[in-house]
Amino acid sequence: MRKVVLVCGVIEALSIFSYGLSIEINGTRVHSTVGSPLAQFIIYTIFALGISGLVKGLSGHHNWARTPFYMIQIFVVIAGYTLISGDGVNVKVLGIFVGILGVVGFLSLLRSPDLD
């Protein structure tokens, strides 16, 4: 189960970083007038680094990383629900994937009490 937890965390961190990068690229290319693409990129990058730190902590068998990782999974499920409530089939499918990822990450960590 530990590998499943780590894979979920890596997917989440890479996805968040990629999303922030896409905001920066599109904002620079289109010269966005809504918010600062660079600031959003920095915020998403910090969030992705935080998740990466938790994944590193979990891979090193550090119990301090468990509770924050549980909280991240709850927020991932909430994000998935928000996407499912959106418009368009692609957004709903992405929301289902995100929701399942959060549930799998949460339950996998729950089923691996010693991270072995």
Tens of pLDDT, residue by residue over 101-111, are: 999 999 999 99
Report H helices in 60-85: 66-84
Tens of pLDDT, residue by residue over 4-23, are: 999 999 999 999 999 989 88
Tens of pLDDT, residue by residue over 38-77, are: 898 999 999 999 999 999 999 998 989 999 999 999 999 9
Would you say 28 and 37 are in contact if contact means Cβ atoms under 8 Å apart?
A: yes
Would you say 25 and 38 are in contact if contact means Cβ atoms under 8 Å apart?
A: no
pTM of the prediction? 0.84
Would you say 115 and 61 are in contact if contact means Cβ atoms under 8 Å apart?
A: yes
Question: Which contacts qualify for 66-69: CB closer than 8 Å, 24 or more apart?
Answer: 66/109, 69/5, 69/9, 69/105, 69/109
Q: Indicate the burial class of 2 (C-beta count within 10 angstroms; 0-12, 13-18, 19 or more).
A: middle
Report H helices in the chain: 2-30, 37-59, 66-84, 89-110
